[in-house]
Amino acid sequence: MKKTTKAAAICLSTMLAAQSLPLMPAGVNAADTPEPVYFNDFESGDLTGWANRGGEDTTEVSISTDKASSGKSALMASGQSETWNGPALRIDNILKPNTEYLFSAKVVGRYYTNCTLSWQYTDSDGNVHYANYKTLQGSDWQEFKDIKVSFTEEMTDVFIYFEGTKEDVFVDDVTITEVPYTPIQEDLPSLKDVYHDYFKIGTALTPDDMASKSFMALVEKHYNESITVGNQMKPDSVLDLKKTKANYEETGDDETIFVSFGAAKPILNYCQKNKIPVRIHTLVWHSQTPDWFFKEGFSEEKDAAWVTPEKMLKRMESYIKNYFETLLELYPDVDFYACDVVNEAVDDHTSGPREKGSNNIQQGQSAWVSVFGDNSFIEPAFTYARKYAPASCKLYYNDYNEFAQGKHEAILKIVEDLKSKNLIDGIGMQSHLDVRQGQDAWPSISSYEKAIKNFAETGLDIQITELDATIPDNSAKSQETQAQYYSDLFDLYVKYADKISAVIMWGVTDEKSWRHTQYPLVFDGTYQAKPAFKAIVDDMQYTTAASTKTTTTTTLTTTTSETSESLAKGDLLMGDVNDDGKVDVKDAVMLARYVGGDTTAKLSENGEKQADIDDKNGIAVGDLTKLLRVLAHLDTL
């Protein structure tokens, strides 16, 4: 993790951009693009699998020649009584579970296109879930292109559907292809092995992540010491309105809260099968919590009255009790080793309680404060969690911007009070960070260390719970800055390792991150390690899980998937420009310098022969292009 020049990575990134290489997953050539597993241009009149989603959806589907993107026919949807009605394709009857697909389709409205592509499924507890992929608008045909879709084996009645208008909608050229497997870099050191003697390394998962075999290969190699369920163990996924309200209407009991882990089961089943410890996130939060939980009669009406604090305490206890009892009944052998009991209770601006109101109406407002008037709900939440959580489950207060001075001091007061009553075990530092150009980072490393030091002095455990660090763009310069920042962060984590028990990345690849437009993680969208990865393993001493005999200094070498023998040409190793016995990014750097006229880039006799990769006109830009394509898994030698 020393301060080193990332010249190789910078050169590779720059040259890839300069050569305008195609944006395809590593290891996949254009010729390898798979055939569609489903295609329908509706020219044959086949509407198998297409209908509405039942219930109050009044959509009717038919074949029409009024409009067509290609050919003469398209699917026409008509008769929608509500904008959420629309044509739907049930996919769990035609596709495989736990498999990632790309969905494409063209759509146009009768007069104007206003269409949202959405997804629906029923979980194993019978609860229905919805999500929106993308909305398109325009006066002509619009295309949903390569939308990633998947479902797990626990899901049923899985639909992809088009919604957004009561007018006629036409759909054409529907194509579904399976995403090919992209090999990960198996030769990289495992993050969990590198830091095994210091703290747990983990990540967050959602069910749709699990369909990508490449994604899960990274999880299993680097992050399988801890899993946080990204969204499906939060209140809005767990609180069961249907059962809670049915019980209330039958018995008049408006204090008992029913819960369901149907949405979380795909991930929890995976953790159970693979014996991976789980962080529970989260019990009490102003966000992603339905308002009915706080309303009289469990009403979903906007203007319904809030319950009294006394009644809310009874609901809170029922919820937390049933949360843990249900979870432990379903998964008695899963190690739920940590729980974020209360999340983000401190206001960023005032460093006090959040503003009263509904976060579902005005972001940042808190229904908890609407009921209690302040943050007095925090202590009972920890009291009930301590009462019902297993003894092995440590309890945490979790927050972001935890290093900002006023907020930091407010968090310290909360946790010190809870600690004095033996209600808390640790502090969750979310660590959603921003790496700006130069040293203007949020926070600076010195400010971040001060926060760690102050939290450590409380005697409570620290967990880094949601780590990511954004950059303004994906340029080589930004990646270099990010790499140095990550290096400095992990230097701190090692320095305070006796106080830090876990470091959890909030995601695995940039593409799947909630901050994906700002490239915050250490693996890119093609499952390859970024400079930031090398920065946090460089010069670390570690012992692999498979061996206790030797201690290894890690190094990061980017290689092609072929062996050296397959790259050899006679006694030469083609592409080995620096003549060191292997083909890696250092050769691309050397070749770029040589082709660019750098007189200090000296090649050996063998190096000159091995640099003429395309065997045309001596050493030239074409050789560099070829080598870069090989290193990017877009070509072979």
pLDDT tens-digit series, residues 515-568: 999 999 999 999 999 999 999 998 887 666 543 323 333 433 333 333 333 344
Q: What is the pLDDT of residue 632?
A: 63
In tens, the pLDDT along 362-400 reads: 999 999 999 999 999 999 999 999 999 999 999 999 999
Residue 523 is given by DSSP the state: B
Separation of alpha carbons 362 and 352, rounded Å: 18
Residue 530 is given by DSSP the state: P
CATH class of the domain whose range is 38-178: mainly beta
Region label for 54, one of left (φ > 0), alpha (ψ between -120 and 50) or beta (otherwise): left
Average pLDDT over residues 283-290: 98
Q: What is the pLDDT of residue 606?
A: 81
Separation of alpha carbons 253 and 256, rounded Å: 6
DSSP secondary structure string for all residues of 151-162: --TT-EEEEEEE
Pairing, β 500-505 against β 461-470: parallel
Average pLDDT over residues 133-142: 95
Tell me the average pLDDT of the chain: 89
CATH homologous superfamily of domain 15-32+558-631? Dockerin domain (1.10.1330.10)
Structure tokens at 540: 């670390």
CB 16 within 8 A of CB 476: no
- Return the residue matching tokens 């379903």: 330
- Return the residue matching tokens 């309303």: 295
**Phi/psi of residue 51, nearest 5 degrees:** -170, -170
Separation of alpha carbons 484 and 101, rounded Å: 36
Where do the CATH 1.10.1330.10 domains begin and end in the chain? 15-32+558-631
Separation of alpha carbons 277 and 202, rounded Å: 9
Separation of alpha carbons 222 and 523, rounded Å: 11
Residue 220 corresponds to which amino acid?
E
CB 420 within 8 A of CB 460: no
Active-site residue, 178 included = no
Three-state SS across 436-478? CCCCCCECCHHHHHHHHHHHHCCCCEEEEEEEEEECCCCCHHH
**Structure-model confidence comparison of residues 627 and 312, the more confident one:** 312
CATH homologous superfamily of domain 191-553? Glycosidases (3.20.20.80)
**Least confident residue range of 89-103, 139-153, 175-189, 578-592:** 578-592
Where do the CATH 2.60.120.260 domains begin and end in the chain? 38-178
Cβ neighbour number for residue 236 with a 10 Å cutoff: 16
CB 320 within 8 A of CB 260: no
**Least confident residue range of 1-5, 317-321, 401-405:** 1-5
Which CA distances in Å does 180 have to 29, 121, 129, 337, 560?
A: 11, 24, 27, 35, 18
**Phi/psi of residue 479, nearest 5 degrees:** -65, -35
Q: What is the pLDDT of residue 4?
A: 36
Structure tokens at 186: 């198996």
Residue 275 is given by DSSP the state: T
Q: What is the pLDDT of residue 188?
A: 96
CB 140 within 8 A of CB 113: yes
CB 1 within 8 A of CB 487: yes
Q: Which of these is catalytic: 154, 163, 402, 466?
A: 466
In tens, the pLDDT along 9-40 reads: 444 444 444 333 333 444 444 445 678 999 99
Active-site residue, 301 included = no
Q: Which of these is catalytic: 100, 154, 317, 344?
A: 344
Separation of alpha carbons 368 and 102, rounded Å: 41
**What's the CA angle centered on 173, arms 171 and 179, to 5 degrees?**
120
Three-state SS across 219-251? HHHHCCCCEEECCCCCHHHHECHHHHHHHHHHH
